[in-house]
């Protein structure tokens, strides 16, 4: 049962202080579906965020790709659960989140990359991913007009897809609210009070909230929030730019990923959204470290020639907008998830730019852990993503 206490705030205002089962810090790609999963289990939850509404951080910067195509089994498992939620949402709740199951293809134009992609397939399949190696003819069928000069083939995972980050986040937020969860926006977390190695309350610049547990889902600011409980989280954001074209009739189906490097850039990827626009992103090389959000003049000159050389049919599309978002990076490209620090303090951070695609799976996993109701496989995922892991195995498809 929730307890209430009346506190006097500066200026003489009164604010009720409720005791929640769980306080989630961050209403983004991970925090919002986590609150929804908690509410579905009738666990009282409060979500705090300094932005004006849900999904206003890096969630709205995501390009919308949703893949279970990872090299680490733990991430495959989380993403497969996420895909179940995304693809079934409209049928279950009658609400479109613009889900489109176009698949993902990682293309290979040299033997080294082909060997790397092929080497992963048995592990990916064992983890439950529907994926296989396909030849140049299949790639050309999926993306008519793609350059076949030197194309050796690629991996194809047909059950991956895409959705609208903002529509999805709002859908999760609305369902969480309907189930009784509470959100407070425009509040910055400034303190976390402990008693005998347990979190007892969270303080913001607007008030104080008591809780039975707290979850750090603070994205690019995970390290700062972790420091409030003396937890050193190895999460450092870097910057990635994206763009979107005008809308045209669909002419290819999958997300196309090219992991070859070039001067100034590493991998890049693009897909055609359900509404017809081509959405694209590039990984800068070297990384641009920090939490900047201003787009640059160097992005399009770097990414456009690579995309057009790979897929000449893109040449005449007009780019409508570019933007920059942050990828909160962990040392090995996999998230940090689980119970760490104080005895009732959880983390779900370091998503490495994959919070949107992993968020629903991570949220469901943590809700089960908090409720003490795990399913087979949860323990292995949490062990792989623990904070005190050695960080030796780098996610090859991060």
pLDDT digits (tens, 9 = 90+) for 34-72: 999 999 999 999 999 999 999 999 999 999 999 999 999
Domains by residue range for the chain, with CATH: 4-60+166-235+332-384 (3.50.50.60), 101-161+236-329 (3.30.9.10)
Global confidence as pTM: 0.94
Residue-level pLDDT at 18: 78
Is residue 209 a contact partner of residue 18, using CB atoms and an 8 Å limit? Answer: yes
- Tokens for 150, please give them: 């030197």
Contacts of 134 (CB under 8 A, 6+ apart): 105, 153, 154, 155, 156
14: β partners: 8
Rg (Cα) of the chain, in Å, rounded? 21
Report d(CA 249, CA 285) in Å as an integer: 33
From the list 290, 346, 259, 268, the residue with the least C-alpha distance to 45 is 346
Report d(CA 391, CA 331) in Å as an integer: 6
Report d(CA 393, CA 250) in Å as an integer: 38
Residue-level pLDDT at 7: 41
Which residues of the chain carry a pLDDT beneath 70?
1-17
Per residue in 257-282, pLDDT (tens digit) is 999 999 999 999 999 998 899 999 99
How are beta strands 255-258 and 104-108 bridged, if at all? parallel
Report d(CA 112, CA 167) in Å as an integer: 39
184: β partners: 48
Q: What angle do CA 221, 223, 228 make, to 5 degrees?
A: 100
């Amino acid at each position: 049962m929730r307890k209430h206490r009346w506190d006097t705030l500066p200026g003489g205002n009164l604010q009720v202080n409720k005791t929640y089962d769980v306080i989630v810090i961050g209403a983004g790609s991970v925090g919002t579906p986590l609150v929804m999963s908690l509410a579905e289990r009738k666990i009282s939850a409060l979500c705090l965020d300094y932005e004006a509404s849900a999904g206003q951080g890096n969630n709205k910067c995501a390009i919308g790709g949703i893949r279970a195509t990872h090299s680490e089994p733990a991430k495959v498992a989380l993403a497969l659960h996420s895909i179940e939620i995304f693809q079934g949402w409209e049928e279950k709740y009658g609400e479109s989140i613009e889900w489109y199951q176009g698949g993902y293809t990682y293309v290979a134009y040299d033997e080294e990359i082909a060997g790397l992609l092929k080497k992963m397939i048995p592990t990916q399949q064992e983890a439950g991913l529907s994926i296989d190696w396909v030849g140049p003819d299949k790639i050309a069928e999926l993306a008519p007009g793609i350059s076949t000069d030197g194309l050796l083939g690629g991996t194809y995972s047909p059950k991956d897809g895409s959705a609208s980050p903002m529509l999805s986040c709002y859908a999760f937020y609305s369902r969480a609210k309907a189930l009784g969860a509470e959100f407070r926006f425009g509040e910055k977390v400034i303190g976390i009070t402990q008693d005998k190695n347990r979190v007892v309350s969270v303080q913001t610049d607007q008030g104080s909230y008591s809780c039975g547990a707290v979850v750090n889902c603070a994205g690019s600011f995970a390290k700062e929030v972790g420091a409030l409980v003396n937890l050193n989280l190895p999460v450092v954001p870097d910057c990635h730019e994206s763009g979107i074209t005008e809308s045209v009739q669909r002419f290819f189906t999958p997300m196309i990923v090219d992991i070859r490097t070039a001067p100034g850039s590493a991998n890049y990827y693009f897909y055609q959204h359900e509404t017809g626009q081509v959405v694209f992103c590039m990984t800068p090389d070297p990384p641009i470290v920090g939490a900047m959000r201003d787009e640059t003049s160097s992005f399009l000159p770097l990414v456009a020639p690579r995309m057009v050389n790979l897929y000449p049919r893109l040449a005449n599309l007009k780019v409508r907008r570019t933007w920059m978002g942050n990828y909160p990076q962990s040392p090995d490209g996999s998230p940090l998830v689980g119970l760490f620090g104080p005895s009732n303090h959880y983390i779900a951070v370091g998503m490495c730019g994959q919070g949107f695609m992993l968020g629903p799976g991570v949220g469901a996993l943590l809700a089960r852990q908090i409720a003490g109701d795990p399913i087979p496989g949860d323990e292995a995922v949490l062990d792989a993503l623990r904070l005190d892991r050695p960080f030796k195995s780098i996610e090859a498809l991060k």
